[in-house]
Structure 1
């Protein structure tokens, strides 16, 4: 720790020694008040001309805007709640007109990542990183953040789940055991290809509410979503345990208090070598009390046809998945500046069978003795209360999440009696957080908060003949955690911003064995203990010019330990910790210029790595495997050659190694971390062309490549995987109210081998692959009223 502190101090001193230069931004200081007065002040401070097309606009309210920013950024902030939009009509002249509300607007060019395009005439709103908990502009965010605008999620195939996120972010990867039972990874922080009892390495959030702790990705269908943010990790200071790789934050569209709206979409898909699929979803927004209360309801359902044939049971297309769910959001605005949001979410996923095939067998086939179905039931409720002042915002969020995951694995030995291993996990997460944040002003701002969390996981197992499996040893883990955190930004010299923060957490952990069957199943370590963690962070941003910024960041993240079942014993695993140093450069932004790029190089040290393994009986379990390191380079770029056309590209290189394995852990032929592709790339484009006064054509496409990786830790899990490329194309033609879409997924009908494990019991004698869904064509229709 002392070496890290010396390194951080030295880096900051070096940054502070760089002489300052004049910034392209100007100091803005506008109090809250009528829009007419606010634009007069802005005109003087930014030396621009602003005209109102409608005098009534001058009476609308505008928030306080303070800080160093461009005139465009200040103008967009002033108009964020005024139902008006700015248009550039001259070199330094703007015209403000009433906004024409667009319910579910037609997708605009390239809104995936922090590199989205900006038209030259009507400016796009600057990207705000809400995951910073201070609503920082991307240009002020001290790290690697990417944003996917909600409309981009629905191009071609509305309401997809996590696969829509993975498709658009090169540094985000996922296992592929099936919707509702996968794990997500960011920046090469990965522990295995199958779901064990460890805490997730990526924190997933719906608004301010965490979706998972010791649970899989719930794969919520992304209907009616405002945006998705990916903050590369660690993110320990603001988000605590389980954010080693980073966080993924999904932001819902809030209820509108003055508009009655109805939207819907439906589609049918045909899959080569498989069954057809159908999907549909809808949204209704109801103003209960104009200006004071609004209700937004979302419902959806989908049936994804299977494409794996089971030769052992003479069944075709066995891996069908059914999903249905919904959300409800109630927004109340009881007084000026106060907002209360009450939300609820439910979703059920039912997988009829597993997604894997046998390596060396005919494509898309396997031989198994029993069906290996699974299900995931997810429920969430949350309440968020916020209040805005001119300089500060208070946010209080409280919620509860319940998730139940049931899985069945074929444990039959070759030629033996059909055997099954059943596992049921019930997860309860209750959390509350209260924070106060100041708005960034002249480089100074802060956030301070406190949180309480309770998480309980109960894992029960059955093992034995398929007709009557018996109770097997299970485990229950629980954690109660209290946390204080703070982060502050300041400018010691011109153009240099320093950000420092820390998180203090005290946790009480306890666990016990369930259904202990044999005297050998004994606890080898106390099942109850306390842990105290301190997670410091520091970052620095230096403006080379108005378009270019250097970024340095150092932060830590951790996962608490717990109890696991291993080789008939209930054993304790220790917490693990990741320390990351990163240096990056950013040039350009979505609201200026035709081109922008961001590149980052990072070094991560991972100690006491928690990894999912397979014990000598074939049962999945978890162990601390030792210490490792990861070198990462990633770059992203956006290019808008002409209005209406935008390209995005992402690329990464990972070099990982378990360089200090613990005794008793046998590594595979290579000592790389599992599920970490050595290279990866992503390319996408979006094209918009008006065909008539009302009719518009939208075209988009994505291509992704995941390099070589391996299944997990140990000789049994040393199987190669990855080296997969896939491409998708989507098109929509229609008006603002109606449209017809056509999507083609897996354009080249690639089979591949994605990151997953079918059944761990077959690994010693049967090799497995997890293929991509074959080429799928979807015809869809959408409407809004």
Structure 2
């Protein structure tokens, strides 16, 4: 992918101003430092690190540059011909002009995967970095949009507020996540499995980001629990000193056969004190079009929604204390969905053990009959202070943060089956003596405090005459969890009434604490060969307590004793790297990861549930080669990997007259092996062609009766083959006008649905068909203005993202699909 030239479509004077602005910008990473050469002069430049904030709530926005000219990111990194250094680029330094020649070479992006700044091409790790300009140009606004860009990434999405992120196939449907989510250097996803962390991971808006970094394979030695499968890191744009800038963006879109949506976004960068203080404010509001009708409730396009949020950041580099940098950032995002995305398919609710060949066929188009709608809401927030001080030989960084995740989902589960051919509404209707609707209310709240303190060597550190980079630190988190699940019985004749006695429900909650010591050293044995060693030792403690509410499901109100669990883990990584030439790198990586265990909560009347479940862990082996050819007009990145996953955490389902109860357990082992590739070519100025893809073989290594799986079964929602072809072309029409066209074609192979420990009720491991889809975008810019037209899912393919053989009205099934063909336009104005 090529970098956007900030001078495209500008007058010579405006082009010079924008190039200067980009040269002064610094990407928004956590380690904020200054140059040693500058330190020994009286002038000292500083790096700015991103900002995010805005108190929004309804559509107003003080929004920002979201065009190529605004989103272009500076690439302040080592020159291509210099020896690779796992070090930090100094704030205030000007980007090297020959890192990537705009429009003529493959784009090169700076990342901070090792908590240091380095080119993605030089990292001994499987990393995909997507710049903010690419995210903007291709309208990739959620993690689902990244699947076509990132090898080894897949998602399981049964609704907008419940998305399970999977990297390299590590998925069995358990409650804990295997992919960590990080905003700048702040962990933001829930860690505990009791709060459905696997599907409650934040799905952040990508507007005004510097980039997204996706790391595949275990990242636990530096990033801790929940990163055993990988990591998604959102890197925000920083405030820029001495530059007033911003942009406003508005647009609308429509879905074939569905509704109309729109968006309003923007940002403003405001210097406050010259060279010392700047702020950046970003906001967005999106109206999401619906496309699923609910005839039973009399609603069209019922699954519409709204997503809005804000980000604010301030960067202070006081002149009285050179070397000190303080960045304060706040971000909040809310997603409201009016109804679930479920569509009725034929299913196999009556014959789950012999489903037949037509279970995936639509019953009556994109419709789902539910008497009560199933709204959902998620809210995520992050507040952090990043304070760093460069002591000339090392930099100390303290990151103090608070994050919260609140998820609320209401669901009409009347048609879920308690036994083959018998729904909840049928069963409990006989209890109440009248037809009823079975309504579920589920709320999940997590808040967490994090503290990280680390010290990292400055570039140029040597040991025995060789380059030696090192880093060490301490991390602590305390997470409070609260999960509630209650059920209502409502008479079909009067859905506003809740019948008495109440069905009841359960409340589960408690604290989780983790502390860890981590470090990494990188020694250059030869100018072209180095080895990095990383390690982490951590302890995890959890407490949980449950109460059950009166009456029908559990009897009288019941408070259970508190249950505790504790675990300790030692992790490591080894990363040798060899650069025989400036344009060739070969690397290997051996790394371990883990996911903490925790307490289980007994269910009244259901024997055999263990009090705790154990941690699971993985060991990953990978080798990779990166090659730049023809003066960096071609880049090749190919990686082979093999992951062994041990003591795998699973979700065991206990089916009772009171409903299905999910508890966590462990079941044997699994493995995932495959090949990933990313090949880019710039044949002529302005044109970039890219092929991204992966082959994955992820399966159970042993029988797992508690999971409902057998040895050799593919892990859920992991395609054997997936990939995409992308093309981007930018050109000048005249000295003030520029245009671009961008297109993508992506393919996702056959996947299997989740395992089921109750196959007599829910069919297990159903194959979902492969699909291919494409998108195209056309844009025109003149000066500070730009317009864009786009079409997503051009062929209007119905591609599954989730399937269950039960849950639809009249003993049918339910499924969710990617959004149908969407046509839209955007208008942007920069200032």
Q: What is the distance in 1 between the residues matched to 2:570 and 2:775?
A: 44
Q: What is the CA distance between 1:295 and its match in structure 2?
A: 1.4
How far apart, CA to CA, are the structure 2 residues paired with 1:520 and 1:558? 39
Q: Does 1:200 align with 2:239?
A: no
- Match among 132, 141, 144 for residue 114 of structure 2: 132
Equivalent position of 1:400 in the other structure: 402
| In structure 2, distance between residues paired with 1:337 and 1:125 | 31
Aligned mate of 1:593, from 632, 644, 667: 632
Who is 1:43 aligned against? none
Which aligned pairs between 1:712-751 and structure 2 lie closer than 5 A? Answer: 712-714=754-756, 715=759, 716=762, 717-721=764-768, 723-751=770-798
Q: Aligned ranges for residues 334-733 of structure 1 at < 5 Å? A: 334=318, 335-359=321-345, 360=361, 361-413=363-415, 416=426, 417-441=436-460, 443-466=467-490, 467-468=497-498, 470-493=503-526, 495-515=528-548, 518=554, 527-564=563-600, 568=604, 571-588=611-628, 592-612=631-651, 614-616=653-655, 617-667=659-709, 671-714=713-756, 715=759, 716=762, 717-721=764-768, 723-733=770-780
The corresponding residue for 2:126 is: 144
Shift of 1:776: 0.8
Tell me if structure 2 keeps the 8 A contact 1:477–1:562.
no
- After superposition, the Cα gap between the structure-2 partners of 1:470 and 1:399, relative to the gap in structure 1 and judged at 3 Å, is farther
Whole-angstrom CA distance in 2 between matches of 1:210 and 1:763: 41
Aligned residue runs from structure 1 range 8-157, under 5 A: 31-33=36-38, 70-71=81-82, 81-82=92-93, 118-119=101-102, 126-155=108-137, 157=139
Contact 1:540/1:552 (8 A) holds in 2: yes
SS of the equivalent of 1:154 reads: helix
Change (3 A) 1:777 1:364: same
CA gap of 1:31–1:328, structure 2 versus 1, over 3 A, is closer
Correspondent of 1:161 among 142, 150, 160: 142
User: Conserved in 2, the CA contact under 8 Å of 1:161 and 1:222?
Assistant: yes
Q: In terms of mean alpha carbon deviation, does 315-324 or 473-482 score higher?
A: 473-482
Where 2:780 maps in the other structure, the secondary structure is strand
Q: Residues 191 and 595 of structure 1: is their aligned pair in 2 closer, same or farther, counting only changes over 3 Å?
A: same
Gaps of 5+ in 2: 1-34, 44-75, 192-196, 346-360, 416-422, 427-435, 461-465, 491-496
- The 3-state SS of whatever aligns with 1:226 is strand
User: Cα distance 1:118–1:639, how it changes in 2: closer, same or farther (>3 A)?
Assistant: farther
Equivalent position of 1:227 in the other structure: 211
**Over residues 3-27 of structure 1, what are the superposed CA-to-partner deviations in whole Å (9 max), with x where a residue is unaligned?**
xxxxxxxxxxxxxxxxxxxxxxxxx
- The CA deviation at 1:166 is 3.0
1:659-712 alpha-carbon deviations (Å, 9 max, x no partner): 224454422797221121111112211110001101110111222222111221
The CA distance in 2 between the partners of 1:745 and 1:601, in whole Å, is 31
TM-score (norm 2): 0.78
Whole-Å separation in 2 of the counterparts to 1:744 and 1:710: 29
- Long gaps (5+) in structure 1: 1-29, 39-64, 89-115
The 2-side partners of 1:206 and 1:31 are apart by 28
Matches within 5 A, 1:174-213: 174-192=155-173, 198-213=175-190
What is the CA distance between 1:374 and its match in structure 2?
0.6
Q: Say how many residue pairs are matched.
A: 693
Deviates more, 1:442-451 or 1:320-329: 442-451
Q: Judge conservation of contact 2:471–2:520 (CA < 8 Å) in 1.
A: yes
Aligned counterpart, 2:30: none
| CA separation of 1:248 and 1:763: change in aligned 2, threshold 3 A | farther
2:821 matched to 1:775? yes
Contact 2:188–2:404 under 8 Å retained in 1: no
Q: Secondary structure of 1:258's partner?
A: coil
TM value normalised by structure 1: 0.82
Check conservation: 2:592, 2:617, Cα contact below 8 A.
Answer: yes
Measured after TM superposition, the shift of residue 301 of structure 1 is: 0.6
Q: Which residue in 1 is equivalent to 2:29?
A: none
